[in-house]
Every structure is written in C-alpha cells, then in structure tokens.
Structure 1
Amino acid sequence: MKKVLIFVLFLTLVASFGLFATGAAEVKSPSNEVTLYYSHSADWTDPLIKEFQDRTGIKVNLVGAPTGELVARIRAEKDNPLGDLLWGGGSDSYQVIIDLLEPYEHAHMNKVLAETRDPGNRWHGTSIDPMVIVYNPKLVSEKDAPKGWGDLLNPIFKGRIAHADPVRSGSAFMALVIQLFTMGGDNEVGWKYISDFVDNLERKVVGSSTLGFKGPADGEYLVGIAYEEGALRYVHSGANLKVVYPIEGSSKVPSPIAIIKNGKNTENAKKFVDFILSADVQSKLGDVHRRAVRSDVQLPEYMTPNEKLGDFYWDTVWIGENKDRLLNKWKDLIIGK
C-alpha cells in the first residue's frame, strides 16, 4: 500500500511538472515592437521615431492616415486591437473613443502642464497646436491685412480664403470651434458669424488643411486658416506668408498621444509615451515649429508666448459630445440650407 501511495504521488508530481512546463512554453517572450497609428507629418516625427528605435531597440510599425480614419479603425478593431498607440489630431478625436484608451501615468506627470491631458490620464498632450490666420503680403496690403477672425468677413477676401472642410480635417474643425466661441458662442450670434464666414468662402473649402498656408503662399488665395506648425514652417522656408494670431483669441489645443486598450505591446507603448514627453525630446519641438507641453521647456524666441494666445478654454468633453451637431450645422450652411 505504501509503495502504491508513493507511486501515485510520483505520477502527480510528474503531471504537475508537465503542466508547468507546458504553461511556461506558452508564455510569450517580451515583444520587441510597437504599432503606432499617427496622423502627424512624417518630416518631423520620423526622426524622433528613429531616435526611439535606436535608444530602445524597439521596432516601430507605422500606420499613417488622417486622424478620423485612425479613430474609425480603432473602433472597428476594438475586439482585437492591431494598434498600440494613437498620436496626432486634436483631443476631441480622443474623447469620442475614450473607453478604448488605456489610462497611463507616465514618467513626467509633474513636469507636464495639467491642462494638456485627460483628467483620467487616457490621453496626454504632446504639443500645443493653436490655429492662426495667414496672408500673402505681396497680395494683401498692410492696411487690409486681417488682424482677427472678424476680418475674414471683409468683402475683399470673398472667394479667396483657403479653409479646409471641418468634416474631414481635424485642424479645420478646431478653427470652426474657436471661431464660433470667440465670435459669440454656440448661439445665434456665433452662428451668424459662421454663416457670414461661409458666405465669404463662397461655400467652397479646400481639399487639405495644408492648403490653408500653401494656397496663400502660392498666390492662389489671399488669406488662409492654418495650424501654427505648418504656417511657421512655411514662413521659415522663405514663403510669401505672414502669420497672424487673431486678436479675438486662438486656443491652446493639445495634440495628444494615447495607448490603445488591450493592445498587444502595451509595455512598449508606455515606453514610447515616456520618450515623447521627456525633456530632451520636448526641447527639440521648437526646432520643428511645435510648442512643448512641459513647464521646464522654454518656447523659441520666434514663437508668440502661450499667454498671448487668448483665454478660450478648449473643453474636450463638451466638444466631443457636440461634435456631430456642430458639423451638421456646418454642413447645412455649406449646402445653403
């Protein structure tokens, strides 16, 4: 009986070891890659991505597309996420998929401006992207040059304003919201301004947000609405362009990064977020005409200080909840309803 008991115990140990060994074989070794969905321009992001790869040895798989397309992709993949990170666009785009984003307290929380991140830490601003007005000084005199959003109603600009479609362009949507609220609000006054602005566009929009600054610089348009980074980059390349920070105000809109919930490479995604928000990377943003979000990084001298951008508060939650309604009103104005 004693021998039988010992034999049974022996078999049990062997079986247990076998199960353990099988389980150990199924544990995946740490991944050496991360998949990044991004909508930023490759000319300034690619060098940073290469630096991350060189520092960490982690391969970054890039999927580039407009922010709206990437958001739709994340929604479609929610049961089996193929991406690990979303980077680019405005915070309102992140708000509409907030439940599909992974909360993360990165390594630099005490150095990054609190107003540039989600209160639940599901997205984190990596730069501040105000909207500006641009004009071609060879075609527009200093006397007629726009100083603010209100000046875009000037008849001399009728049909000669380069502005992308807010339905397709995240930066154009930012401009719509900023114009609406700095010119009266989400009410009859604000929408009267937007209606008059659409009339001065002759109900025509350009095909890309980059034409907001390229169009006036090339002389195809007199003025344009543009994101600051693109406008400053064009100015510093020698283009016929002047940048105006609207007297009514712009906005300190954060351009975020977020970790996609249940992604396959979450730990590597966290490392990428820590990298992008590190002091040495943030200090390089001024070289590519972007505003850092760290309190310990100074803006370049050529940039207008943050405090002079106006005090319009970009309410990400409200804007996310009302985005479809705002865009539907815009579409009605464009088609003349």
Structure 2
Amino acid sequence: MRNLILALAAGLMATTAAHADITVYSAGPGSLAKNLIKGFTAKTGIKANLFQATTGKVMARLEAESANPVADVVVSASWGTATDFEAKGLLLPYASPNAETVPDFLKTNGAVAQGVAGIIIGWNSKSGTPKPADWSDLAKPEYKDLVTLPDPAASGGTYTLVEAFTANGMTDVLEGLKANGAIVAGANKAALNPVLQGAKAAVFAGVDYITMGAAAKGESVEAIFPTSGTVVAPRPMMILKSSKQQEEAQKFIDYVLSAEGQNEVAKVYLMPSRTDIKVDRPLIGDLKLLSKDGAPSREDVLAGFKGIFN
C-alpha cells in the first residue's frame, strides 16, 4: 500500500513538473513571441507566461525583480545583454541539441541567438529624396530635418551600431546627423512610423525585419544596407540560473531552435540562427560588417551619444 501511494505521488509530481509554467521575458517583435509561445505549448503541453516589451523595459523589469526573480527565459534584442549576464554569473549553461547548425559566434555557454536582425537605413521611396547608399548620405542637405533614429538606450540594434561607430572612429556621422536636424524618436517603431507616414524621409539605424515587414504590407519603404558597412544584432535567448523550472526552460530553447521555431523567426523577416533554414532575404554572409573591437563600455557609448544629441 505504501509503495502504491509513493508511486502515485511520484506520478503526480512528474505530471505536475511536465506541465509546470515557465515565464518568458522577450523583447519584440510581439507577434513572434506570441507565436513561439503558442507553438511551444502545443508541442510540449507546457504553459508559458509572456512579458513582451522593448529591451529597455525588459531590462528594467528584471532589475526591479532582482531580489525575487520571476523570469525563466529572457530574450533580448542586444547581444550585450548576454555578455553582461554571463559575466555576472546569472545564466544557466545549456547547449541545445538543435543548435548544431547555429554558428559559434551566435552561441555561448549561457546564450544562443533566437534570430538575427540587420541594422539598415529605412527609406521612404515616395519622399522625393534621392535614394541613400550610405549612412553619411542622411547628413546631406536633401535630408535636412527629414531623418529619425531610434534611441540606443531603448533599441538594442541602434546601440550596437553606435557602439561600432564609436569603435571605428565614425562618430562624425552622428554629429552630421545632429547638425542636419535628425531627431531621436524613442524605440524602433517610434522612429520608423514618421517615415511610413511620410512626415520624414528616412530612419537611420532602422531594424531590417521591421522595415521589410512594413514593405511586405504595401508600405512605400525600403531597407537599405549601407555600403560602408553595418552591424547585426543577434537576439540572445538565455535561461536564468535562478529559474525554478530549468528543464522546461531548456525545452523552450529547444523549440525555438527547432525547424518549426526557426521558420516562425523567418516569418517576421529576421535571419534565422540556424544556417540550414532557407529564407529569401540577405543573410549575415551577404553583408559588410563593421567591427566593434575596442569599443568602450555601454555607459560610455551611451554617454557619447547623449553628448552629441543632448
């Protein structure tokens, strides 16, 4: 009898664990996060709670909850988040079996890219301005007061570009933008919307997948990869060491890196992390990339940007 009770209890515990909730904090795009959660639950039976916001808001919430962590999995739009969290010992090491075709530079012991965004010029083709080819074109008189850019404190992709400009001695481009009347407009969508509406001609340091998604819906906007080079912004997925549902969190990482999950990533025009997922868009190997070697700390990069744009 006692053995039967123990067996029943063990079975109940296993069932409960198998269906334990996990909590995912994810920077946008919101449609991707929701579809991945839906697919994950359908595939595994594990429920997942979602908090979706900008990278800045996700980081602020994690900081506010640091004494009593809630999140199991964090998805950021900035690889620097993974570097910082790993250095602080906050991440659970995990190598997903589905990460075999993910390039080494898109994974560490504690993080792996969900997908990759490219940073571009988003240009309104009906703006009456000449089509830009490089970043510096947006500082020309034709673009006076017609350019927006996301705030690098709110956009992981913009931060990565500003970081590379700082490392490569290209901050004169930012100074030229400021002198030409460019406006810092918040996060990525806030910077792109005036361009879609025709109030502005171009967004500097736009995110390719958002711009491509708008073009696919019929908007008169084009994603342009500048000739002097750009950066990519891998979106790290991380399991927090504080997670009480580590096995379930690992299954979430596995799902996102499955062919099904990576095709969801591709549907929103992000580059999949896996090299064996075929998509009709430029991939990392097609781009000229700027180095970030020698860049100062995040605090110094943001301080330099604020010094230019007040």
Question: What is the deviation of 1:145?
Answer: 1.4
Query: 1:41 is matched with which residue: 29, 32, 40?
Result: 29
Larger radius of gyration: 1
Contact 2:114 2:265 (8 Å CA) reproduced? no
Counterpart AA for 2:304: K
Question: What is the deviation of 1:211?
Answer: 3.1
Tell me which residue corresponds to 1:72: 60
Higher share in strand: 2
Tell me, in whole angstroms, the C-alpha distance in 1 between the residues paired with 2:184 and 2:224.
Answer: 20
Tell me, in whole angstroms, the C-alpha distance in 1 between the residues paired with 2:218 and 2:166.
Answer: 32
Number of positions where the alignment pairs a residue of Structure 1 with one of Structure 2:
299
Tell me, in whole angstroms, the C-alpha distance in 1 between the residues paired with 2:57 and 2:125.
Answer: 36
Change in CA separation of 1:314 and 1:282 when aligned onto 2, cut-off 3 Å: farther
Query: 1:296 is matched with which residue: 263, 270, 276?
Result: 276
Q: TM-score, normalised by structure 1?
A: 0.81
* Secondary structure of 1:111 counterpart: coil
* Secondary structure of 1:254 counterpart: strand
Counterpart AA for 1:312: L
Counterpart AA for 1:166: P
* Secondary structure of 2:261 counterpart: helix
Gap regions ≥5 residues in structure 1 = 1-19
Give every structure 1 segment of 4 or more consecutive aligned residues whose post-TM-superposition deviation is greater than 6 Å.
none
Q: TM-score, normalised by structure 2?
A: 0.88
Question: What is the deviation of 1:79?
Answer: 4.1
Tell me which residue corresponds to 2:90: 100
Tell me, in whole angstroms, the C-alpha distance in 1 between the residues paired with 2:134 and 2:297.
Answer: 25
Change in CA separation of 1:309 and 1:178 when aligned onto 2, cut-off 3 Å: farther
Contact 1:164 1:212 (8 Å CA) reproduced? yes
Matched, 1:306 2:294: no
Task: Please give the root-mean-square deviation of Cα atoms over the aligned residues, in Å.
Answer: 2.6
* Secondary structure of 1:253 counterpart: strand
Tell me which residue corresponds to 1:214: 193
| 1:298-324 per-position Cα deviation (integer Å, ceiling 9, x unaligned) | 222xx1242221132456xx66x6110
Counterpart AA for 1:111: T
Counterpart AA for 1:252: V
Counterpart AA for 1:110: E
Question: What is the deviation of 1:62?
Answer: 1.1
Tell me, in whole angstroms, the C-alpha distance in 2 between the residues paired with 1:208 and 1:71.
Answer: 14
Contact 1:89 1:171 (8 Å CA) reproduced? yes
Gap regions ≥5 residues in structure 2 = 1-5
Contact 1:82 1:264 (8 Å CA) reproduced? no
Tell me which residue corresponds to 1:164: 150
Contact 1:75 1:97 (8 Å CA) reproduced? no
Question: What is the deviation of 1:167?
Answer: 2.1
